Amino acid sequence: MLTLLTHGGGDGFYSYSMFCTKAALLLQMSGEDWQRQDVNDPAELASMPHHKLPVLRDETGALIPDSEGIRRFLEARGAEFDPGLSDLQKAQSRLLIRMVDEALWLHLMCARWLEDDGWAGMTQTVFAGVPAPVAEGFRAKVMQGLHFTGHSRLDRAERLLRLGQDLTALEAVLGDQPYLFGDRMTAADCSAATMLDALSRAPAARAVAEVTQNHPRLMTYVARIMEAAAADLPKAA
């Protein structure tokens, strides 16, 4: 059986890591038999490839890191995540996934780690029970990374403006469809729904959540996917 090594969740999040939840949705779509295992030990996390999650452990004990690496692994075993899509639509799907996984992810990182109200939420959820100096050490490292990307150098108004533009574009792609590419869920939905869910509520900063919630079609779309996921995805052992 395949085992998804993941960060824990709470407050309605399958995992506080959107990439772990994305991997779980891909696994569920693949039809593979799999289980979930939360990684809570920092030493175990440090032993993972790339020193981060998600990681998939296969039947031989081999470790496959990263949600996109997990997707490729599953596709090599016969999974089809873009059924019925044309070559052009598959290319568009790839662009959307990159936008979500990289551009919207930076918005989420700022919303959780940079903004003071977002960080306060993180200390009460993700870092609950963790000594303050340890949590602040993690934050300092993340802040260095955000400064390097340039995203945290933008003021809040500029970040919110760009977030709104990205969400408006994504909402235009969705239109009146149940999923981004029509009547069937595809790989792009695994990325988009989980990231939008995280942006729309705590521990994301309130201003970011309000901008996200101001796109009702996206919120309906997120609810459709995440409510089904909550019922179907394996729980932690």
- Report the CATH number at residue 71: 3.40.30.10
Q: Kindly report, residue by residue over 53-101, the tens digit of the pLDDT.
A: 999 999 999 999 999 999 999 999 999 999 999 999 999 999 999 999 9
Q: Are 216 and 104 within one domain?
A: yes
Domain assignment of residue 185, yes or no: yes
**What is the tally of structural domains in the chain?**
2
**What confidence score (pLDDT) does residue 234 get?**
87
Report strand pairing: 63-65 vs 55-57. antiparallel
Mean pLDDT, the chain, integer: 96
In a domain, 81, yes or no: no
Q: How confident is the model at residue 44 (pLDDT cuts 50, 70, 90)?
A: very high
Q: Is the pLDDT of residue 202 over 90?
A: yes
Based on the domain organization, do 94 and 61 belong to the same domain?
A: no
What average pLDDT does the segment 7-31 reach?
96
Instruction: List pLDDT tens digits, range 159-177.
Output: 999 999 999 999 999 999 9
The pLDDT confidence band at residue 230, using thresholds 50, 70 and 90, is: confident
User: What is the domain range of residue 148?
Assistant: 87-232
Look at residues 76, 95, 120 and tell me which one is the last residue of a structural domain: 76
Q: Do 9 and 44 have their domain in common?
A: yes
User: What pLDDT shows up at residue 237?
Assistant: 58
Domain boundary among 51, 76, 101: 76
